[in-house]
Amino acid sequence: MEMGSIRTTWRKSSYSGANGGECIEVSSRRPHIALRDSKDVDGPELVISNNDFRHLTETLKNQ
C-alpha cells in the first residue's frame, strides 16, 4: 500500500528516551496505522489495520 504522499504526524513512545536510539514511530492513517524506523524517516513504512496494531501492542505488553 503506497501512502508516502499523505502528510502525517508521527509520534514515539515516551519510553523511547532522549537519544532516540532503537525506536519506531507511529502515525494514525485511519483506518490503518503506519509504523517506521525513527532512524530512517525516509525509509519504508509498515501499514497495518487498527485491530492488528491493537493486537500487537497487547501482545507486547504481555511479554
- Does residue 10 fall inside a structural domain? no
The total domain count for the chain is: 1
pLDDT at residue 13 is higher than 60? yes
d(CA 49, CA 15): 23
* Segments forming the whole domain that contains residue 36: 23-61
Q: What's the sign of the alpha-carbon dihedral 24, 56, 3, 27?
A: negative
pLDDT in tens, 31-50: 999 999 988 989 999 999 99
Look at residue 22 and tell me whether its pLDDT is greater than 90.
Answer: no
Across residues 23-32, what is the average pLDDT? 91
8 part of a folded domain:
no
Q: Looking at the chain, how many residues does it have?
A: 63
* Structural domain contains residue 41: yes
With respect to residue 33, please indicate whether it lies within any of the assigned structural domains. Answer: yes
Q: Are 31 and 54 in contact (CB under 8 A)?
A: no
- 6 within domain boundaries: no
Amino acid of residue 36? R
| pTM of structure | 0.74
